[in-house]
A and B are shown apart, each in its own frame.
Chain A
Amino acid sequence: AQSVSQHNHHVILSEAASLELGCNYSYGGTVNLFWYVQYPGQHLQLLLKYFSGDPLVKGIKGFEAEFIKSKFSFNLRKPSVQWSDTAEYFCAVKPSGTYKYIFGTGTRLKVLA
């Protein structure tokens, strides 16, 4: 079955630390990849997405993600986190040709001021 794994469930960082959140998926075909963020008390919103081309994708608020096809991975990075990045981050995969999105279990990030 198709699945998405986010190995880090809880991450605590100090401000200015670098961030990398892992995301791996199991699906052999072409996929579209997404990272969503949910700030406390708010709804899920798109951080960035990959559909084709340059495997390094830049999103909002200084986030980026790299698609490594051979590793079935789409890891999220930010060089220097801020307190306002405290949120839950979800990786999602949409197999091409479908309308279904498969979500990971999420990573709760807490940034200490």
Chain B
Amino acid sequence: DAMVIQNPRYQVTQFGKPVTLSCSQTLNHNVMYWYQQKSSQAPKLLFHYYDKDFNNEADTPDNFQSRRPNTSFCFLDIRSPGLGDAAMYLCATSNALLAGGADEQFFGPGTRLTVL
């Protein structure tokens, strides 16, 4: 089945220790997204890639970086995790050939990050 895969599902890191979360997709979608979701809150868009074009949200901290080496993979790097970065991180894709189209997003299962 075509899908969005996130690894690891659970990640524990120490305060200030860099961590990388990964996302891969077999859908061949051109747009990939990273969201941060804290308990009882809406998923918050951090950034997205349209093909190789990186789009950062204005309020995404500099501590968060992303890489998309090819269509299938996208990484989220947190350079110096703080306690406030503990959250669920969701990766999603969409096939956005036309921006006006009602392309739905396909989500991965998420990575739950704990910061000690």
Contacts and interface: CB of A to CB of B under 8 A. Distances in A.
Interface in B2-35: 4, 31, 33, 35
B81 interface: no
B109 A32 contact: no
Contacts, number: 62
A104 B42 contact: yes
B42 A106 contact: yes
B102 A32 contact: yes
Given A99-B31, A99-B50, A100-B48, A49 B104 contact: yes
A43 to B, nearest CB: 4
Interface in A84-100: 90, 92, 94, 96-100
A42 B50 contact: no
A94 B94 CA distance: 12
Interface of B: 4, 31, 33, 35, 40-43, 45, 48, 50, 55, 90, 92, 94, 96, 99-102, 104-105, 107-110
